Amino acid sequence: MSDATLSLVILAVTIVLFVWNRLPVGVVAIASALALYFAGLVDLAGLTSGLGDNVIVFIAALFVVSEGLEASGITAWAGRLLTRAAGTDRTRVLGAITVLSAILSALITINGAAAALVPVTVSVARHALMLPSKVLIPLAYACSAGSMLTLSGSPVNVIVNDAARTATGDGFSYFEFGLIGLPLVIVTFVVIALLGDRLLPDRQSTTLPADFSNYLGTVVDHYGLGERVYRLHVEAESTCLGESADDAVALDYPEVAPIATQGSLGAGLVDSGHKLREGDVLVVSGPGPAVEELARRHELTVEDIAGRHATSGRLIDRDAGVSEIVIPPRSEWIGATVCPGMVRPEDGLLVMSIRRRNKDVGPRSVELVEGDTMLVHGPWRAIEALADNQQVLVVGSSEQLRRQTVPLGRSAPRAAAILVAMIALLASGVVPPVVAGLLGALAMIVTKVITSEQAYRAVSWPTVVLIAALIPMSAAITDSGGAELIAAPIVDLVADRSTYLLLVVLFLLTAMLGQFISNAATTLIVIPIALAAAADIGVDPQPVLMLVCTAAAAAVLTPIATPANMIVMNPGGYRFGDYWRLGIVVMACWLVIALALVPVFWPL
């Protein structure tokens, strides 16, 4: 068996295993790379070449940049804008996602757009009560279409432009690709809107973060924050200085109940006989008018604790947030005296509510026991530090809560500037895309938009490993002559035949190869064949090359066709066979668009 045939056999077995879906896709990809090595189709350097490939490094860098956008609140802000624009109507949601995906992929390439927009798309889908699996494949397809809007949208465009310049002395202009790209975006949206709901699967992903979009309303109801608790700050001019808390409230305000007194300078709770001093805080509960009258009488400053949720942005904003914590067995917090309205002197966290055995303990002081639950409020730094505190268990991720509910945090201007700079580098071509991506990722860390630990966590290693393991397959098929083995009979078929038959066959050849090897490699394989066939039948190279470029972008039938398809696979909970149902319709429409418009804009 020749090397060319053997490479195609290994490819066929790999595809069958992907479709069979009994083994993890990463295992199949690594096994295919090992099979190529043991078959002698790639050497050791070729086996591991994917790990150092520019595409892999670029994708990893884009994950880090995307993490910076999410951590800074830009993603939440974009999600809110998109949600307001799209609402809950399915067609409007898909339209908004398509437009944003196409524009961003034209600016920062298809892979960058997919990595950046997955969290935004998931947020919009949740708001519209749609499954992420109904919108993430459309996201990838819209990115593929959008990559045809500009010269920098895809490496394939650059390859085709160079080939056209070499063959004719005249390449394509930066926005000339948009003549075919814009119709592709439109027809992709139409197909997705009409058929997406029926042809896309209902899948639940286990890799998505929890949804905190309705978190605030949930905790307000669960912890009974409608019961007003107030902190009355004792000032130098207060008339109750030297009195006990009970004496300060007295019998004139029977509806106001003193809960506890907290000492000055952030001290803990004091005993009931404590005489009030400047800086002390009297924690009370009761009707607002009565508390305000008491405060005026004694010249106290009122701080409404439980009512913070009533004012937008006060309970959760860019500076402070909330967290639910549970007291686990053997915690050092057990036995500590707390009450609603007190501020913990250790970390400055304000206790808003306490529940024991699923019941509110009410406005009183208690000693914490195992299993108690508290809702606390304070600076994000203190809130997020609870995740590393071995003495409490945090309910939900405060980091994800902040990212989903706080748009445009303090680091947002830095993150936005880094994104704009990276886009400018990608669009201008001053540096290679991988360098632009690495500069963006590094800037996110250096400017403290994210930490180095967050950067490491941001990279989707399963996606990176899968793509890296499949790169040797592309090289093996190319180097062994497997691609030419497929292409040779096609050249014979179109010889001395109709020009349109040549276009159809070249489209199908390019599109089919592009489902299993990188579209850049596919383009490099097909271009010589296309130019030779075009010369044989006397066709201008430019329309043929633009058709090959369009077909290479139509990598929509499998998750391994493009990194963008792989990026959405885990968040969408997709399987290998979920892509082709909608993808085959999209590809057919792209073929029709290419046959109808390429000869118009680039005459044969």
Domain ranges of the chain: 3-41+52-209+456-601, 215-310, 320-405
103 closest CA partner among 148, 61, 64:
148
Sort residue 279 into left (φ over 0), alpha (ψ -120 to 50) or beta.
left
Q: In angstroms, rounded to a whole number, what is the distance separating the alpha carbons of residues 555 and 184?
A: 13
Q: Residue 259 to residues 31, 271, 340, 357, 361: CA-CA distances in angstroms? A: 66, 11, 8, 21, 12
295-302 long-range contacts (CB < 8 A, ≥24 apart) are: 295/232, 297/239, 298/232, 298/238, 298/239, 298/240, 298/248, 299/235, 299/237, 299/238, 299/239, 300/232, 300/233, 300/234, 300/235, 300/238, 300/240, 301/232, 301/233, 301/235, 302/230, 302/231, 302/232, 302/233
pLDDT, one tens digit per residue, over 198-210 is 999 998 876 776 7
**pLDDT given for residue 313 in this prediction:** 42
Tell me which of 211 and 35 has the higher pLDDT: 35
**pLDDT given for residue 140 in this prediction:** 94
**pLDDT given for residue 417 in this prediction:** 95
Any idea which residue has 């029709």 for tokens?
592
549 closest CA partner among 185, 194, 160:
160
Sort residue 441 into left (φ over 0), alpha (ψ -120 to 50) or beta.
alpha
**pLDDT given for residue 309 in this prediction:** 43
User: Is the pLDDT at 186 greater than 90, yes or no?
Assistant: yes
Phi/psi of residue 282, nearest 5 degrees: -100, 115
Q: What is the mean pLDDT of residues 68-77?
A: 83
**pLDDT given for residue 310 in this prediction:** 40
User: Is the pLDDT at 404 greater than 70, yes or no?
Assistant: yes
User: Is the pLDDT at 147 greater than 60, yes or no?
Assistant: yes
**pLDDT given for residue 267 in this prediction:** 60
Q: Look at domain 320-405 and name its CATH class.
A: alpha beta
User: Is the pLDDT at 277 greater than 80, yes or no?
Assistant: yes
418 closest CA partner among 399, 436, 400:
436
**pLDDT given for residue 311 in this prediction:** 40
**pLDDT given for residue 495 in this prediction:** 63
546 closest CA partner among 565, 523, 519:
523
Q: What is the mean pLDDT of residues 456-462?
A: 83
User: Is the pLDDT at 225 greater than 70, yes or no?
Assistant: no
Lowest mean pLDDT among 120-124, 137-141, 216-220, 483-487: 483-487
**pLDDT given for residue 276 in this prediction:** 85
Q: Residue 404 to residues 66, 77, 398: CA-CA distances in angstroms? A: 14, 9, 10
The residues that bridge with 303 in the sheet, in sequence order, are 231
Question: Which of the four pLDDT bands, split at 50, 70 and 90, describes residue 490?
Answer: low
Q: At CA 575, angle to CA 569 and CA 577, rounded to 5?
A: 120
User: Is the pLDDT at 496 greater than 70, yes or no?
Assistant: no
Q: In angstroms, rounded to a whole number, what is the distance separating the alpha carbons of residues 225 and 305?
A: 9
Token output for 328: 């686990």
Lowest mean pLDDT among 250-264, 453-467, 542-556: 250-264
Q: In angstroms, rounded to a whole number, what is the distance separating the alpha carbons of residues 254 and 238?
A: 21
Residue 206: strand, helix, or coil: coil
Q: pLDDT exceeding 90 applies to what percent of the chain?
A: 25
**pLDDT given for residue 593 in this prediction:** 95
Question: Which of the four pLDDT bands, split at 50, 70 and 90, describes residue 312?
Answer: very low
User: Hey, what's the torsion of the CAs at 429, 431, 434, 438, to 10 degrees?
Assistant: -130
Q: In angstroms, rounded to a whole number, what is the distance separating the alpha carbons of residues 91 and 135?
A: 11
The answer to whether 215-310 and 320-405 have equal CATH topology is yes
Q: What is the DSSP secondary-structure string of 510-553?
A: HHHHTTTS-HHHHHHHHHHHHHHHHHHHT--HHHHHHHHHHHHH
Residue 457: strand, helix, or coil: helix
Q: What is the mean pLDDT of residues 318-324?
A: 85
384 touches 398 (CB < 8 A): yes
CATH superfamily membership of 215-310: Regulator of K+ conductance, C-terminal domain (3.30.70.1450)
How many C-beta neighbours within 10 Å does residue 279 have?
A: 15
Question: Which of the four pLDDT bands, split at 50, 70 and 90, describes residue 365?
Answer: confident
